[in-house]
Structure 1
Amino acid sequence: MQRRRGVTAKDIAARLGIAVSTVGRALSDDPRISAETTLKVQAVAAELGYVGNKAARMMRGAPSSILGLMVPDVRNSFYSAAAHALSGKMRAFGYQLVLSETGDDPQLELEQLKGLSAIQAVGLIIVPSVDPHADSVKLLESIPYVQLLRHHSSLDQQRFGIDDRMILDSATSHLTALGHHRIAYIGGPSELSTGTQRLQGYRDALERSGISEEDPDLVRLGPAGSHTHGVESLRSLLALAAPPTAIVTGSVQATHGLLDEILARGISVPEELSVVGFGDEPGFSWWGGGLTTMALPVDEMVSNCATRLLDMVAPGAAADPYEVVSPGRLQLRASTAPLDVSESNLRGTGSAVRRTT
């Protein structure tokens, strides 16, 4: 079957009986073309289903309308929600958002950056990998960009994040207030700025509650955004001679893995184990009796981030250091309960723990 030829500027010109160059200028809002002719050209273009060639216009000197968003994993609900909100906000200002996934791989991150540079993206929002390639750092010097959620010291001080330390402090403090002392933490790598701050928040809450010595057996750090990490961490924690009575997580994907393994083992929450998750996806509100979790300020972060980037890509804009840290919020539901300290060990999948109500 012969492929149907797309509508061209020549087709529009033939319909109106004008020069192709006039059509091109009219579609580019060239002031040399009268308003009457411009309206006629636009009307015929819409009627025929004409789609402009952005690459060709850019070669003729027209500015790009492309903004990039680079995230580690689009399956992470935080990043997908951020992408959705950013796309709508940027579209309202005449920009098209192009999404790239890096898998937290510095080499892939570099390749994606080269691709965005090749299509002349005018700005970029990036969630940087653990250790960006030196060529990535150099390439970013030529494009306005801001860091989202994470911060890497080798990159410019343009960052929009959450108060990671406060979030985990709040989550852990909630559990210590319920009488829990053996509280496990499942989080991302300490090499990430987010991982370091979340771990510190967990430790701060334990110390403030009088638990002066952190039990290293209760801390499970692993790959960022890993479902498997949540599964395997719970398995190893349950194998301890003195398992935890409560668990707090530091990533959305680890929360998913933890919850899946809890269901697979038939563990009763919060009767046998109290749980505080990370992020607040729609499904978390009806998991079990509802998951107590840390709700993240996605809308606030995205709005601040988009506004800053739009300011940076404006002609003559300055790029002075700028940072906004938004607070999270503890969403209390039914997955946590006070500890009955007389019976405080979860062994296997039995009902060895009872908590007061």
Structure 2
Amino acid sequence: MITTRNIAERLELSVSTVGRALADDPRISERTKLRVRKAAAEMGYVADRAARMMRGAPSNVVGLVIPDIRNGFYSTIAHELSRTLESRGHQLILSETDDDRMRELRHLTELSASRVAGVLIVPTARPHRESVRLLTPLAHAQLLRRHPALGAQWFGIDDHQVLKESTSHLVAQGHTRIGYVGGAAELPTGSERLRGFRSALKDAGLPEEAGLATLGKPSSVTYGRRAVRLLLDATVPPTALVTGSVQLTLAVLEELESLGVDVPRELSVVGFGDEPGFSWWGPGLTTVRLPVTDMAADCALWLLHRLTTKPLDDTAYTSVLPGSLIVRGSTAPPRATPRRSR
């Protein structure tokens, strides 16, 4: 491993001069800095960041803690965060919790021990109290989900508005029995989306039983497919379905395809998120387009601002962005003869 001593011996300089040149110390001439950097590059020198941090140099690493990287929603967030942070000299590292609070705690413990510059987190439903303690001294913000114990910095989507708009579109088409496949209500996003679904029915003057809601793990394809079968097997099945997560939307579409359900003739469907394949699935999926990229960019810029603010600015900050309904071919008025259960 090449060290600063090796570079110093090659250039016949002191080790301290080489170290200061690599740290861009103003006491070292530009000519010497150039010589040192050129030699370091030629010799394959890699800085020992841990040692630099022990001498007081700040970390340039930011941790991202999310439930499931397989979800296109989260991978888009990770990509935009990485792109924005990298443009300012910071590096993003990823941790995946699978919505397990103990895995979340283990990841946060390692990030804290590594002395990261900050953490961006999509928290589990009930973060461990030790997770709260670990995050408190760090520059951090919550994404999508908000837990009151984790601070007042939150970047999210108007989940209530998104599901209310989706459901209202189906009501406007004439549907009076609508199924909802969504995430568990113990998650803040799940409860707000369920509230939006029910608000649309209430505002339309429909009875509570007009909505058939099934709730489960938002990233579980197995749950999503089972929920579709459960709804379609009801004594009086729904004439339309609305979904409350990207992964559940994919599961619903897969199950409807396997069952041979004619969309929208037999069943209208409104999805969540606008994945690349949604526009050409079947007749084209009516869905809610989410401002994921804008939300992630805003969050990254906020964190970069906070990292450069001395002292750190602890002012509460909340950013809530709306979604937009994209109408395609998967929704239509219900047919005169209701679809029978399977």
- What's the secondary structure of 1:337's corresponding residue? coil
Which residue of 180, 184, 187 corresponds with 1:192?
187
- Alignment match of 2:306 (pick from 298, 305, 312): 312
Contact 1:273 1:346 in 2 (8 A): no
Q: Tell me the distance in 1 between the aligned counterparts of 2:190 and 2:9.
A: 62
Aligned-residue sequence identity (percent) comes to 52
1:68 matched to which residue of 2?
63
Q: Check conservation: 2:201, 2:210, Cα contact below 8 A.
A: no
Structure-2 separation of matches of 1:146 and 1:266: 44
Name the structure 2 match of 1:85.
80
Alignment RMSD = 1.3
Match of 2:221 in 1: 227
> How many residue pairs align between the two structures?
341
Where in structure 1 are there 5+ consecutive unaligned residues? Answer: 1-5, 349-357
2:262 aligned partner, one-letter code = S
Can you list the C-alpha shifts for 1:302-323, whole angstroms capped at 9, x where unaligned? 1221121112222213111111
**1:151 aligns to 2:146 (yes or no):** yes
Deviates more, 1:255-264 or 1:47-56: 47-56
Distance 1:299 1:253 in 2: 18
- Structure 1 segment 126-205 matched on structure 2, within 5 A: 126-205=121-200
| Alignment partner of 1:282 out of 268, 276, 286 | 276
Tell me the CA shift for residue 128 of structure 1: 0.7
**Uncovered stretches (5+) of structure 2, i.e. residues with no partner:** none
1:354 is aligned to none
SS of the residue corresponding to residue 175 of structure 1 reads helix
Is the CA contact 2:266–2:334 (under 8 Å) kept in the aligned structure 1?
no
Alignment of 1:57 onto 2:52: yes
Matches of 1:269 and 1:245 in 2, distance apart? 10
Once the two structures are superposed, residues 97-146 of structure 1 have per-residue CA deviations (whole angstroms, 9 ceiling, x without a partner) of 11111111111111111111111111111111000001111111111111
Is contact 1:203-1:214 (8 Å) kept?
A: no
TM-score normalized by structure 1? Answer: 0.92
> Counterparts of 2:316 and 2:81 in 1: how far apart (Å)?
22
Counterpart CA distance in 2 for 1:108 and 1:258 is: 28
Q: Which residue of 1 aligns with 2:100?
A: 105
CA distance in 2, matches of 1:262, 1:50: 56
Aligned residues of 1:66 and 1:96 also touching (Cα < 8 A) = yes
Determine if contact 1:244/1:346 at 8 Å carries over to the other structure: no
Whole-angstrom CA distance in 2 between matches of 1:287 and 1:82: 24
Between the aligned partners of 1:140 and 1:26, the Cα distance in structure 2 is: 34
SS of alignment partner, residue 200 of structure 2: helix
What is the CA–CA distance in structure 1 between the aligned matches of 2:223 and 2:332, rounded to whole Å?
25
Partner Cα distance (1:35, 1:214) in 2: 75
Q: 2:290 aligns with which of 289, 292, 296?
A: 296
**Which 10-residue stretch deviates more, 222-231 or 73-82?**
222-231
* 1:14 aligned onto 2:4: no
Residue 285 of structure 1 aligns to a residue whose secondary structure is helix
2:38 aligned with 1:43, yes or no?
Answer: yes
Secondary structure of the equivalent of 2:255? helix
CA contact (8 A) 1:311 1:317 kept: no
Q: Report what 2:334 is aligned to.
A: 339
- Aligned mates of 2:209, 2:153 — CA distance in 1: 34
Q: In the alignment, which of 328, 332, 335 is matched to residue 323 of structure 2?
A: 328
Tell whether the 8 Å contact from 1:187 to 1:221 is kept in structure 2 after alignment: yes
Q: Which amino acid aligns with 2:53?
A: M
1:65 and 1:101 mapped to 2: Cα distance? Answer: 20
SS at match of 1:230: helix
Question: Which residue identity is paired with 2:232?
Answer: L
CA distance in 1, matches of 2:285, 2:63: 34
Assess if the C-alpha contact under 8 Å between 1:206 and 1:214 holds in 2: no
Q: Secondary structure at the match of 2:271?
A: strand
Closer/same/farther in 2, CA of residues 331 and 346 from structure 1, 3 Å limit: farther
Match of 2:204 in 1: 209
The answer to whether the 8 Å contact 1:228/1:254 transfers is no
Residue in structure 2 matched with residue 355 of structure 1 by the alignment: none
65-74 vs 315-324, greater mean Cα deviation:
315-324
Q: Is the 8 A contact 2:291 2:321 kept in 1?
A: yes
Q: Is the 8 A contact 1:279 1:293 kept in 2?
A: yes
The alignment partner of 1:114 has SS state of helix
Deviation at 1:211, TM superposition (A): 0.7
Greater displacement, 234-243 / 306-315: 306-315
Secondary structure of the residue that 2:249 maps to in structure 1? Answer: helix
User: Structure 1, residues 47-68: CA drift from partner, whole Å, max 9, x if none?
Assistant: 2232212112112221111111
SS at match of 2:339: coil
Q: CA deviation at 1:215?
A: 4.6
